[in-house]
Chains A and B, each alone.
Chain A
Amino acid sequence: MGKEKSLRFFVTFWFLMASLIPILILGAVSHCFIKWQLEKNIDKQTRILARLVAQDLSRLFSTQQQLLAIVKNDLESGVIPAEKFQQYISSFRLDKTVFESLLLLDSSGQVKFISPYRKEFLGIDFCNYDFFKKVMKTRGSLWSDTFVSPFSGKTSIALGVWSKPGVIVGIIDLEKLSGRMSKFESAKGVNIIVTDSRGIIIAAPDKNIVAQRMSVKNLPVISEALKGNYGTFRYSMGRIEYIGCAENIPEIGWLSVVTQPEDIAFASLHSFNIFFSIFLGGTLLVIIVVSLIAPRNLLRLLRDLKHQISNIASGKYEKTEKLMKFKVREFNELLNDVRHMSLAIRDRERSIEEAKRDWEMTFDSVPDLIFLLKENGEIFRANKASADYLGYRVEELIGKKCYEVVHNTTEYPASCPHVRSRQSGKLEVEEVRLDDGRYLFVSCSPIIKDGKFVGTVHVARDITEKKKLENEIIRSKNLLENLFENSAEVIAVVDRQGRFMKINRRTEEIFGYSRDELIGKKFDKLYADKNELNELVEMLRKDGVVHEKEVHMILKNGEVVPMEMSVSLLYDNNGQLLGSVAHAKDLREKKSLEAQLLQAQKMEAIGILAGGIAHDFNNLLTTIKGYSQILLMDEQIRALEGEALQEIERSASRAGELVSHLLTFSRKVEHTSKLININDIVENVKKLLDRSLPKNIELEINLDSDLATIKSDLVQVEQIILNLVINAKDAMPEGGRLEIRTENVTLTEEEAKRFVDAQPGKHVLLSVIDTGSGIPEEMLTKIFDPFFTTKEVGKGTGLGLSIVYGIVKSHKGFIDVETELGKGTRFNIYFPAEYETGIDSLSTKENIKLPSGKERIMIIDDEESVARVGVQILSKFGYDVTWAPSGEEAVRLFQESDEKFDLIILDYMMPKMDGLACMRKIKSMDGNVKILFATGFVSDIPFEELYNHGATGVIQKPFDVNDLLTAVRRALDEANK
């Protein structure tokens, strides 16, 4: 919309327009008409003038040509003899012609005769002039281009006429031609020029122009005329506009051109323009004055009308009754109508005001939040409830965007009902959560005006409390659902008819049925024992609840499983029985663990028993072995009873091995540990087996190339494999397949729970699998018992699997046996995987040649036979040996002895004062004395503690001569170092 202007401006402006436009149109039409007339006249006049000039020159040139034709005739007719030619030419009155000079050129172009005569002019060569060449060629007559006459030095043209004696040439000074132009001088500014066929000016009233030989070929009037287009043209030369016309001079191809500057030619039009401009200015002034005075009365009426309408606008209806009177009737009628209109407006306004008040009261009384929104979401009306709820005043809400006050954002929230309503044109609802946690239920109804969406009625209700309740219910429901679904126990809800209503995931996992298979089905088909079912139903009926009753259920695969069942009845809010809910616990794992625990306890007891027997056996064997070796040292005895004594020693050694096996089973044998890869051992065993296994047994080795290491004694693991392989071989007398397999396994918590001694984590699994006869179930609990064997007497000791068991236990591993009668057995040995490095290597047995000495040694051992063997051996090899039968006696002897003891050999296990207490005592008396412990239970000895208290070393019983002497010598030498 443009800038506001006053009525006076419009009246004056349109008045001016109405007056000026016709004048301007008239002026323009007059201008065009005058110009058209002038152009017509100028064209006519210039054409006539150009034609006159052309005709004049045409006549002149014809005359000159005729003159030269006479000369030619005279020369060729022979009337004039050749020697009289000069005289003949000189006789011409050139001043009566336009020729400046007349000459005869010979055929080579040189001046032969000339008038007026000058000797020096003779011989001047014209052979290079174009007109001469053409005349000679055509034998006709021709006008030359302009040139500077060699005789006069003036700009000239020449007419050449061929004749037998030569070319007759008449040279015309162009100034003479220009002189003829002066008679055509007409109106002021009119220029008359003559150009040659190249557009060069050759004649003009101003002789200077001719002398300059100016080429005006570039002017349109000339260039067009040279092309044969004659007529009037307008063109500019420099800054001046010209109008010009050209006519042809046919005899010589020249042009007569008449030109006139446009401002001179159109001078009358220019005068008209000035006159019209002055007239226009005057008219403009008059119109302005008139347009200012004329509309005064109308403006007064409008001012009054404006005043009255202002009164109406400001509600001063009474003042409209006092109206002014005009002389114009229509004005008075108009003012009267305005008065009536104002009273009608007043009445209507009052009734609208009342209706508005009622509506606003209702609007503000509604407890819901109501906004009236524009299309762009701007609030243009809001009730009191909305202002109170949102913490604004009603006026503050007006003009704000709905999302600014409700959501405190700068744009619409996602799924805004106002936006949706704008798009759909329908009622849209949405639950909205405010930043402070309150909830609103919002509905937006579109406001349609003239079929177009203009906004919405936005009604919101606080539903915070309702929403909280709903959320609480949902949360509780979800919790219950989770508890039910994720319970580790079987939970099932059964209706009054005994049909499953709901079961949890554990039920599906244990029973193997899907929900679809169980929901709606009777529960009693899952009970293996109907008596148990009846008993349970009876208990429920009687007590309303059943606690942890063991029952047997049938799984989908037909397996009967013991379960611990608890059942309680379910009632609705009205106390009506709905059904029951049952909890069941799978007892299979529990039962299995109980069995394993029993086995472990049994094995532990057997181990302790075997260990105790072995201790005593060791002492006895030490004595037997020792004395045998002492006797064999005597040359005479050896000669008489050598074989018998060696047999005794061998038997004692075998018995020692037997004891060693027992100790292994009871885990009381020492083993040295380092990181080993079982695959290496299997590869070694394979070499042995390849040679020793019967041909009908196929050996298959499957090793995991990335197998983890274990911390173990290489020999012991080798023994495990050999013992298992021997058993497998014996189980396949008819042949079969034997597989040794290694692999890495990771036991989860769940898997570890299946075995008594198992810990979750990474393990190395060694499996020995055969396709033999298998192990009957009743024997499975006994296979690890010492001396249990199914082999014939003399074919097995019954210690093979016991040793395996002992070794595995000492490695903190465990064994799993899978067997099926007639199909085979699989022993799975699990070792904890280890990844440490740098474990000490096994010490190699040194080959010492029975060392001897003279030091003083005390042997403290409660077992006299063992002590005596020691005394005898050491005495035989030069030592001074004293025996003490107990710790107390040893302390006493040590105190009383005048001579110092170099070494004490001390039994670790003694009644009353044990080895450790005895050592402390002796050390307190002599801190430098060396102490060598002797024991049959190396694994039970707290080495760290012993060494911390000053022990020098340990020797294992039963020892032989070599072992004892070597250990004693090393202890003494070590001490000396």
Chain B
Amino acid sequence: MAFICVRNRMKMSKYIKINAMLGIFLSFLLSPKLIYAQSWIKLGFVAGITGMASDMDVNMRDGVLYAVEKINKFGGIAGRNVQLIIKDDKRNRDVAKKVDLELVNDHVVAIIGHSTSSMTIAGKSVADSSGKLLISPTAASEDLFGKKDFVVCVNASLREETARLAKVARLKLHIRKMACFYDTSNRSYTENYLTWFATFFNKYGGEIVKKVAFNSQKMDEFWKIVSDLHLKGAKGVLIVAAPLHSAILVQKIRNCKENPEIFCVSWSLTSTFLKQGGKAIDKVWFCSDFNPECKKDTYIEFSRGYKERYGKEPDLMSLLGYETVLILREAIEKSNGNTDNLIKYIPGEYDGLQSRFTIDEYGDAHRNWYLLRVKNGKFVTLMSIDN
């Protein structure tokens, strides 16, 4: 009896073998890409890569894309290639949520984005509800910091930036009255920025004498505003806007009789600003965690490769985009393939392209700060500044 059973089993296993071989043969013949697809790591990317203020987002995307291409060139992450799925949030909160949801449904391991704080806050609800990691290279609004959520900010908080900028304006340049222009299309960031700046500036004895809001998505409206500027005697002007709009505003402010010192935010620290600002941008102040004159080997190598790839110099946005992908790579490697709870592998110290930085348990970055100024059409690093 036992012998018969064995024979039957042998026959069965023989048939199973034949069927399996046939199955594999047919699988290769009909659908070879099924197996191939298993080896990819999907990453989502969302930013406002079209539209008037898209320069910053495009540069950020290029930084991210450059990092992904480089990783794939050197064998991927833990032997798996990375697929970057790029989406455009059109700087619209509803669109932002929609595309984030699409990416979650596409089973990406993390979403890189958004570029502005407003969009990131919109996407946060999707991230928190799905448990998917949302890692923004550039968002800096204080609304995103100090919270236990699924959002990670690779850029430093605007609070750190405003504290330093207010100190420079009031205590270094002795400006008592300031006028402010800000873009309401990224309201979360710009208004938050102005609030914190005003807090610190007032603290040092300064006064905000004028606030001008505009929506960068409406160019006609913007041009109307810039055609009739009144600074109310302010000796300093703070522009919290995208590079193009900052560049135009700077050109127009230079014509004002007050001849004020002009301060721009890191958001405008791009080649677009330099290109479109003309001669007027000389002597504009910035306070940023980006050092354009960095001589560190890793940055020089990145800068050279980036320029070769895109034919342009890297800026803060491309650098943050690139570093965001490196942070994700490290986290995925630490997770040993279990990417469901990727956020717990993010906190730690990182050797950035320009300097070391840390990401704390809330997913908030802490970086070094520099005082910059435009000189002969270039950004020049004046000094490293602490609060």
Give chain A's interface residues, CB within 8 Å of chain B. Answer: 108-110, 118-121, 123-130, 147-148, 150-155, 198-199, 208, 211-213, 215, 217-218, 238-239, 273-274, 277
Contact = CB atoms under 8 A, between A and B. Distances in A.
User: Which of B40, B52, B84, B312 is the most central at the interface, judged by chain A CB atoms within 10 Å of its CB?
Assistant: B52
Contacts of A212: 49-50, 54, 58, 61, 86, 88
Interface stretch (B100-108, B136-144, B148-156, B277-285): B277-285
B309 A217 contact: yes
Contacts of A110: 278
Nearest to A199: B311
25 contacts: A110-B278, A118-B223, A120-B227, A124-B278, A128-B275, A128-B276, A128-B277, A128-B279, A128-B377, A129-B276, A130-B275, A148-B52, A148-B54, A153-B51, A154-B52, A155-B50, A198-B310, A212-B61, A212-B88, A213-B54, A215-B62, A215-B311, A218-B309, A239-B37, A239-B83
Nearest to B224: A120
B58 A273 contact: no
B227 A119 contact: yes
Contacts of A199: 311
Contacts, number: 99
A292 to B, nearest CB: 15
A217 B311 CA distance: 10
A126 B275 CA distance: 8
Given A147-B276, A148-B52, 13 more contacts: A125-B251, A127-B278, A129-B276, A151-B219, A153-B52, A198-B310, A198-B312, A199-B311, A211-B50, A212-B86, A215-B309, A218-B309, A239-B40
A170 B190 CA distance: 34
Given A218-B69, A239-B36, A239-B37, A150 B49 contact: no
Contacts of A121: 223
B226 interface: yes
A150 B247 CA distance: 9
Interface of B: 26, 29-30, 33, 36-37, 40, 49-52, 54-55, 58, 61-62, 69, 83-84, 86, 88, 216, 219, 223-224, 226-227, 244, 247-248, 251-252, 255, 272, 274-280, 309-312, 377
B244 A150 contact: yes
B314 to A, nearest CB: 13
Nearest to B271: A128
Contacts of A119: 227
Query: Would you call the interface of chain B mostly helix, strand, loop, or mixed?
Result: helix
A48 B51 CA distance: 33
A211 B309 contact: no
Contacts of A151: 219
Contacts of B223: 118, 120-121
Nearest to B227: A120
Contacts of B251: 123-125
A936 to B, nearest CB: 121
Contacts of B84: 238
B55 A148 contact: yes
Closest 3 CB pairs of A and B: A125-B278, A153-B52, A211-B50
A739 B309 CA distance: 117
User: Which of B51, B84, B251, B275 is the most central at the interface, judged by chain A CB atoms within 10 Å of its CB?
Assistant: B275
Contacts of A125: 251, 277-280
Contacts of B88: 208, 212
Contacts of B30: 273-274, 277
Contacts of B61: 212
A239 B26 contact: no
A116 to B, nearest CB: 12
Contact of A109 (B278, B310, B311): B278
Given A215-B62, A239-B83, A273-B29, A208 B50 contact: yes
Nearest to A130: B275
A211 B51 contact: yes
Nearest to A277: B29
A315 B58 CA distance: 95
Nearest to A196: B311
A793 B86 CA distance: 152
B106 to A, nearest CB: 12
Contacts of B36: 239
A128 B40 contact: no
A154 B51 CA distance: 6
Nearest to B276: A150
A151 to B, nearest CB: 7
A632 B88 CA distance: 162
Nearest to B250: A125
Given A124-B248, A124-B251, A148-B244, A213 B58 contact: yes
A123 B255 contact: yes
B277 to A, nearest CB: 7
Contacts of B310: 198, 215, 217
Contacts of A198: 310-312
B33 A239 contact: yes
A217 B306 CA distance: 12
A119 to B, nearest CB: 7
User: Which of B255, B310, B312, B377 is the most central at the interface, judged by chain A CB atoms within 10 Å of its CB?
Assistant: B310
B244 A152 contact: no
A129 B226 CA distance: 22
B279 A127 contact: yes
Nearest to B218: A153
A121 B226 CA distance: 10
Contacts of B58: 212-213
Contacts of B55: 148
A227 B30 CA distance: 38
A127 B36 CA distance: 51
Given A128-B278, A153-B51, A277-B26, A148 B272 contact: yes
A153 B277 contact: no
A308 to B, nearest CB: 28
A109 B277 CA distance: 11
Contacts of B216: 153
